[in-house]
Amino acid sequence: MSRRQVPLKKECTEIDRVVVGYDRPLETFFAQAIAIDATGEEDCVIWQGTYPGELPTPRSAIALIEHYCNVPEDLARQLETDRLATLAQADGPNQQAAKRALIIGEAEPPRPKPG
């Protein structure tokens, strides 16, 4: 799995951290925008790319976070390079079992509610 923190825009005060990356076992890119609530707990304002193939391209992940971030112009290329670096890897037994549970166990997985 790759994980890249993206710099926030100066005027973005509602989000504390944004992360994008590639999850090889789920074969999806992902995006997270995280805020810290009044009690110090993390609250995911955006958390997508948690199901197989949900975000198929780097651009689909970047589109979710660009409102909050100064997206580097080469971020899509970096994420695609991360994906390509995983092509020779295979799922182990635990990853295979988790995928089966995700795919067969639920027709429409629940989504976290935005804050």
Tens digit of pLDDT for each residue in 1-15? Answer: 899 999 999 998 889
Residue at token pair 């079992």? 97
Asked if residue 59 lies in contact with residue 74, where contact means CB atoms within 8 angstroms, the answer is no
- Measured between alpha carbons, how far is residue 36 from residues 18, 58, 67, 93, 112 in Å? 12, 26, 18, 36, 16
* Residue 115 is assigned to a structural domain of this protein: no
Q: Which domain covers residue 20, as residue numbers? A: 4-105
Tell me the average pLDDT across 29-41.
93
Number of separate domains in the chain = 1
* Residue 114 is assigned to a structural domain of this protein: no
pTM comes to: 0.79
* Residue 19 is assigned to a structural domain of this protein: yes
* Residue 70 is assigned to a structural domain of this protein: yes
Number of Cβ within 10 Å of residue 10's Cβ equals: 7
Give the pLDDT of residue 48: 96
* Residue 110 is assigned to a structural domain of this protein: no
The model's pLDDT over 86-106, given as tens digits with 9 standing for 90+, comes to 988 887 877 777 777 776 664
Asked if residue 29 lies in contact with residue 56, where contact means CB atoms within 8 angstroms, the answer is yes
Name the residue with higher pLDDT: 101 or 29: 29
Query: Distance between the two ends of the chain, CA-based, in angstroms?
Result: 26
